Amino acid sequence: MTDLNEYECEMLDVMLEAFGVPDSLTRRQILELFDHDEAAAFAMVQALIREDLVVASGSYGEFELPEKLILKPKGEKFLKDGGFTRRYQQEQQRTNEVGGTLAKLQQQNMKLQNERLANQSQVIDLQKKAAAMRMQLYISWALIVIALLIGYFIGRK
């Protein structure tokens, strides 16, 4: 469905609405709907067949319009539910929701990256403090050893 644009969806809905009481369209009627543009008509017919909303009958070549299209009950129900236009609009809304979710995720990602950087700088500060305290401990032990040696030599005399 995502390969259809809004205009094509509207055309497919118009085509589905054109099915009359016998629930069928002839090749001539289909061509009239598309101002005798057989390529456009063929593409729209293929879309309806692909969606399994109509059945083609009559002899036709691989790239020609069928003699008759018959609307399936599924096609009638699909049209009553809003048809291709409604489906297209729902997909557009879904795309916006995903885009909104993407923006939220990007904001959350930036927030988490900022938090990570703040935590990294805090870790670096704590490591520096720990190194400074370790150095103070070594100096304290060295002073204690020196004091003991001085006391030993003074006590020996």
Q: What length does the chain have?
A: 157
Say if strands 68-71 and 54-57 run parallel, antiparallel, or are unpaired.
Answer: antiparallel
Q: Does a structural domain hold residue 31?
A: yes
Beta bridge partners of 26: 68
Q: Does a structural domain hold residue 108?
A: no
Cβ(76)–Cβ(51) below 8 Å: no
Residue 58 DSSP class: S
Average pLDDT over residues 48-64: 81
Strands (E), 107-149: none
Q: Which domain holds residue 31?
A: 6-81
Q: Could you give the CA distance from residue 131 to residue 12 in angstroms, rounded to a whole number?
A: 74
Q: Does a structural domain hold residue 1?
A: no
pLDDT for the residue 1? 47
34 falls in which pLDDT band (50, 70, 90)?
confident
Q: What is the CATH number of the domain that holds 65?
A: 1.10.10.10
Q: Does a structural domain hold residue 17?
A: yes
pLDDT for the residue 95? 66
Work out how many domains the chain is built from and give that number: 1
Cβ(23)–Cβ(17) below 8 Å: no
pLDDT for the residue 79? 83
Q: Does a structural domain hold residue 153?
A: no
Lowest mean pLDDT among 101-105, 115-119, 137-141, 150-154: 101-105
Q: Does a structural domain hold residue 126?
A: no
Q: Does a structural domain hold residue 12?
A: yes
Output the six-digit token pair for 125.
């500060």
Q: Which residue did the predictor score with more confidence, 40 or 1?
A: 40
